[in-house]
Amino acid sequence: MSLLVVGSVAFDCLESPYGKVERAVGGAATYFAVAASFFAPVHLVAIVGDDFSKEDAAVFKGRPIDIEGLERTTGKTFFWSGRYSQNLNERVTLATELNCFAEFKPRLPEKYRNSKYVFLANIAPDLQRDVLHQVKVKPKIAAMDTMNYWIERTNAELRETLKHVDILMINDTETRELSSEHNLLLAAKHIFKMGPSTLVVKRGEYGAMMVDKHGIFCVPAFPLEEPHDPTGAGDSFAGGFMGYLASVGSKSDAFLRRAMVYGSVLGSFAVEQFGLDRLLQLKKPEIHGRARHFRKLTQFKL
């Protein structure tokens, strides 16, 4: 079943101890779409400027990613520039130029309006809600991301949007800020009262944790000797997670656990090289191979 993603498509300037890329196609929706497309057809809604060339759009080509919803406008594409510290565990944002993204009003093409799986990447909560309104029938799973900026500045709007989603996927700092609870279990209980029935906490090098009515499920991050660039890891995780669920058409506990693993698999590949490079070369057997590796990493018998 096809999967709708709404979010940013951007140019990134990335710098880490492993090198520098001046102008890489990035953005949350891009990472999500490429990662999810290994599992299910993706419908992309985003906006780019007239500096976004055919060559740039090639990242979506040859994959089941429909870009009818990729709006093209005059002006420049969203630009982000960041530098990572020696150990990749700290990031300095050097520039955020919203450009045409500041005027983004997501409009779903007619054929996107039946989407059963929806992912609202990190954009303004009122736009996220507007996207949900454009979907005709209540999706089987609506999931969303957000960030400290929206938690702090548009909290009421965010609360309103949260009422309409099933899964919230955020990092641990955001979880604590949104719930005003340090303990992640207490935070989850708080967040369930806001609407979502499942909380997925992304914890970077420590992996991810899912909390829902079935209980808690933890998956570690895949240990890598030389991660090169953490950009897009969380969005690739979300893409693997939602792509897998859309491919199986179920949200039972066993499938949600597997979705956590496939999310972690895609996130782990994303950080191996700069920007989208690794995901663009990735082959399906590698995904399944790493999922089995995750099993080796975590499984035990009593």
Examine residue 291 and tell whether it contacts a copy of itself (CB under 8 A). Answer: yes
Which of 120, 260, 271, 276 binds a copy of itself (CB under 8 A)? It is 260
Q: How many residues bind a copy of itself (CB under 8 A)?
A: 37
Sign of the four-CA dihedral 102, 95, 156, 48: positive
- Shortest approach of a copy of itself to residue 108 CB, angstroms? 34
- Shortest approach of a copy of itself to residue 203 CB, angstroms? 7
Pick the closest to residue 12 from 73, 78, 75, 56 (CA basis).
78
Q: How far apart are CA 251 and CA 84, in angstroms?
A: 36
Instruction: Give the C-alpha distances (Å, rounded to integers) separating 257 from 123, 235, 293.
Output: 26, 18, 15
Examine residue 258 and tell whether it contacts a copy of itself (CB under 8 A). Answer: yes
Binding string to a copy of itself for residues 185 to 204, with x set by CB under 8 A, is what?
Answer: xx----------------x-
- Are 185 and 216 within 8 A, CB to CB? yes
Helix boundaries (H) for 37-143: 54-57, 125-134
Nearer CB in complex with a copy of itself: 62/223? 223
- Shortest approach of a copy of itself to residue 253 CB, angstroms? 10
Which of 91, 113, 163, 292 binds a copy of itself (CB under 8 A)? It is 292
Task: Single out the segment in contact with a copy of itself by CB under 8 A; choices: 49-57, 92-100, 110-118, 206-214.
Answer: 206-214
Which of 223, 283, 284, 285 binds a copy of itself (CB under 8 A)? It is 223
Q: Which residues contact 74 (CB under 8 A, 6 or more apart)?
A: 49, 50, 100
Judge residue 117's burial from the number of C-beta atoms within 10 Å of its C-beta, 0-12 exposed, 13-18 middle, 19 or more buried: buried
Q: How far apart are CA 149 and CA 102, in angstroms?
A: 15
Which of 217, 248, 250, 272 binds a copy of itself (CB under 8 A)? It is 217
* Angle formed at CA 26 by CA 100 and CA 268, multiple of 5 degrees: 150
- Are 298 and 208 within 8 A, CB to CB? no
Binding string to a copy of itself for residues 60 to 89, with x set by CB under 8 A, is what?
Answer: --------------------------xx--
Q: Summarize as ranges the residues that interact with a copy of itself (CB under 8 A).
A: 86-87, 182-186, 203, 206-207, 209, 215-220, 223-226, 254, 257-258, 260-261, 288, 291-292, 295-302
